[in-house]
Amino acid sequence: MSASASSSSPSPVLPDRQVQTADSVLSGKEDEHGGVIVEMSTEPIDPIMFNSLLKASMIHWKQQGKRGIWIKLPIELVNLVEPAVKEGFYYHHAEPKHLMLVHWIPETINTLPANASHRVGVGAFVMNENGEVLVVQEKSGKFQGTGIWKFPTGVVDEGEDICDAAVREVKEETGINTKFVEILAFRQSHKSFFNKSDLFFMCMLQPISFDIQKQEREIEAAQWMAFEEYAAQAFVQKHDLLRYIVKICAAKRDGKYTGFSPVPTITTVLKKQSNLYFNTKDLNS
Amino acid sequence: MSASASSSSPSPVLPDRQVQTADSVLSGKEDEHGGVIVEMSTEPIDPIMFNSLLKASMIHWKQQGKRGIWIKLPIELVNLVEPAVKEGFYYHHAEPKHLMLVHWIPETINTLPANASHRVGVGAFVMNENGEVLVVQEKSGKFQGTGIWKFPTGVVDEGEDICDAAVREVKEETGINTKFVEILAFRQSHKSFFNKSDLFFMCMLQPISFDIQKQEREIEAAQWMAFEEYAAQAFVQKHDLLRYIVKICAAKRDGKYTGFSPVPTITTVLKKQSNLYFNTKDLNS
């Protein structure tokens, strides 16, 4: 929905209207926590007029006892960022084409929800019937030119499931088709990427095809390698995390390890599907 | 590090210097992917001068074959957001006090890393020796006034481990001290909070204390409740996810379920500790 000026008693969702009077306020939608969300359309507004509207709105919302005020500014309205910040708003989060600013009105402790804090990455353990694992060498990043062979890894895209991301990354990097089996382990680390946190999921995938076609842009080389040869690399031996991963993969290969498998669940109200990952073997036995 | 104007051949890390000449450029640090990161200090810069510097810098970086150009603008320099956007930068991410803008120079496909995409939440299954679980009723949010009893839940703070967040949330909401045992399951959902994704970790904690002192601000009531009574609530019965959670918790109570336990691992170079969560029981047996 787009925001526009309205009369001084805004309803939760308002259609676009022209500016009426000097004491108009911005229209917004009420959230579940006593706050207001204002989504600005991309139509230009003079910053001075926006400033007046914003001041009038803040007075109005304070009188109404509103708590968190959110303003979503598309990048086309970048000239309104400064007026908003000068009125006491701070940054909440940003996406390529918009900036979300927020202002906490009450004097009580700020309980506004935090922004997304984690990037989510996946690694793929793909073993064929000969006990060989799928490994790659990368053209850029910290492994570039080191000669180190690693499992295919990547970052999940926006809105993408972990299990789908793992299958996609293997397909993109090596051309191998796979079926997701389970999550073997995951690691949480902090202060990694621009001070954000990181969740890395080590996934086991079953190969469905076997002819490698490496991705030209990012992959220097890709091959099926004897698992023991992968594990024996000095790089793997020196890294705590990788030594554990190797042990877990070996146990899985030997049929002695159970991880978390995805089970689709449906939310009651919105009928959205989401995957619940857990030890299905234990629950079913 | 703070950025300032420098001579037209910037070195990766430069100290602050005064503006020298008309063809000065912004100084930045090189990243691992052929890009440059410019961290502006909070010292005010005239936007027109910044605009000239930025234009000169972009020409210089293009000549050097740089790829991603990052500019970190503290909120004190909000007046520089518009010049940066007009020069072709877009938003990458924002925190309360700074905005990170980025510009991809090459004409090849943009491989800049994405922003953090997931919020991480925790829920706590805490059972005492009488087979009672710790449950709460909340004062705000979607459960407010519904009479529904739920497990304590919350969102991990920036830089906080999942296991620590679960223990903290239980302590804050109910006053009960606990010890983290394991992750029973986790769910990934999309388009939940401002279009971001969500990872929710159902954790099992062992109580160390038993006298409840509920948090006044957010908790309406807290108690130990017979597990069967919690499970029999219509709300729990109607929700796919909660029905699974109940089965998993029951299996865990009966000693028939193993989840993922945290094992600390150390990174070789930076000696940072991070937790690897996996089925330690299977690996140790």
Structural domains of chain A, ranges and CATH numbers in brackets: 13-104 (3.40.630.30), 118-277 (3.90.79.10)
The nearest CA of chain B is from the CA of A207 a distance in Å of 23
Please determine, for residue B269, whether its predicted confidence score (pLDDT) is greater than 80. no
**How much is the average pLDDT of B172-188?**
97
pLDDT in tens, A132-158: 999 999 987 778 888 999 999 999 988
**Which has more confidence, B38 or A20?**
B38
Residue B118: exposed, middle, or buried by beta-carbon count in 10 A (0-12, 13-18, 19+)? buried
Please determine, for residue B258, whether its predicted confidence score (pLDDT) is greater than 60. yes
Residues of A (253-272) whose Cβ lies below 8 Å from B: 256-260, 263, 265-268, 272
Question: What secondary structure does DSSP assign to A118-151, as a single string?
Answer: EEEEEEEEEB-TTSEEEEEEESSSTTTTS---B-
Find the range with the poorest average confidence among A188-197, A202-211, A219-228, B34-43: A188-197
pLDDT computed for residue B3 by the predictor: 38
Spatial CA neighbour of A202 closest among A188, A189, A183, A177: A183
* Chain B residues lying within 8 Å of A186, measured CB to CB: 260, 276-278
Residues of B (186-205) whose Cβ lies below 8 Å from A: 186-191, 193-197, 199
Instruction: Give the integer Cα–Cα distance in Å for A105 and A88.
Output: 10
Contact A117 B117 (CB under 8 A): no
Backbone CA torsion sign across B2, B4, B8, B14? negative
CB distance B103 to B88 below 8 Å: yes
Contacts of A75 (CB under 8 A, 6+ apart): A96, A97, A98, A99, B85, B90, B91
Residues of A (86-105) whose Cβ lies below 8 Å from B: 86, 90-100
pLDDT in tens, B220-233: 999 999 999 999 99
Written as six digits, the tokens of A158 are 């926006």
Alpha helices for chain A (secondary structure H): 47-63, 81-86, 162-174, 227-232, 234-238, 240-253, 280-284
Instruction: Give the integer Cα–Cα distance in Å for A155 and A118.
Output: 11
Q: Which residue of A75, A244, A279 is in closest CB contact with B276?
A: A244
Q: Catalytic site residue B87?
A: no
**Which has more confidence, B154 or A9?**
B154
ipTM confidence score? 0.85
Contact B94 A97 (CB under 8 A): no
pLDDT in tens, A227-271: 999 999 999 999 999 999 999 999 999 999 999 999 999 876 677
Spatial CA neighbour of B42 closest among B19, B14, B66, B16: B16
Q: Which residue of B100, B109, B116 is in closest CB contact with A117?
A: B116
Written as six digits, the tokens of B90 are 């877009």
3 state SS of B261: strand
> What letter would DSSP give residue B87?
T
Written as six digits, the tokens of A261 are 């498998």
The nearest CA of chain B is from the CA of A44 a distance in Å of 14
Tell me the CA distances in angstroms from B196 to A69, A110, A138, A193, B120, one per residue in order: 19, 21, 29, 18, 11
Indicate the residue type of A72.
K
pLDDT in tens, B195-241: 789 999 999 999 999 999 999 988 999 999 999 999 999 999 999 99
Written as six digits, the tokens of B134 are 């710790």
* Chain B residues lying within 8 Å of A96, measured CB to CB: 90-92
In B, minimum Cα distance to A109 occurs at B217
Q: What pTM value is reported for the model? A: 0.85
Instruction: Give the integer Cα–Cα distance in Å for B71 and B81.
Output: 10
Q: What distance lies between CA B107 and its chain's CA centroid?
A: 32
Tell me the CA distances in angstroms from B23 to B6, B51, B53, B63, B129, one per residue in order: 9, 12, 7, 14, 74
Residues of A (41-80) whose Cβ lies below 8 Å from B: 75, 78-79
The edge-to-edge listing of strands for the beta sheet with A90-95 is: A29-30, A36-39, A68-74, A98-104, A90-95
pLDDT computed for residue B139 by the predictor: 86
Q: Which residue of A155, A251, A276 is in closest CB contact with B241?
A: A276
pLDDT in tens, A73-108: 999 999 999 999 999 999 999 999 999 999 999 988
pLDDT computed for residue A151 by the predictor: 97
* Chain A residues lying within 8 Å of B274, measured CB to CB: 187-190, 241
**Which has more confidence, B164 or B5?**
B164
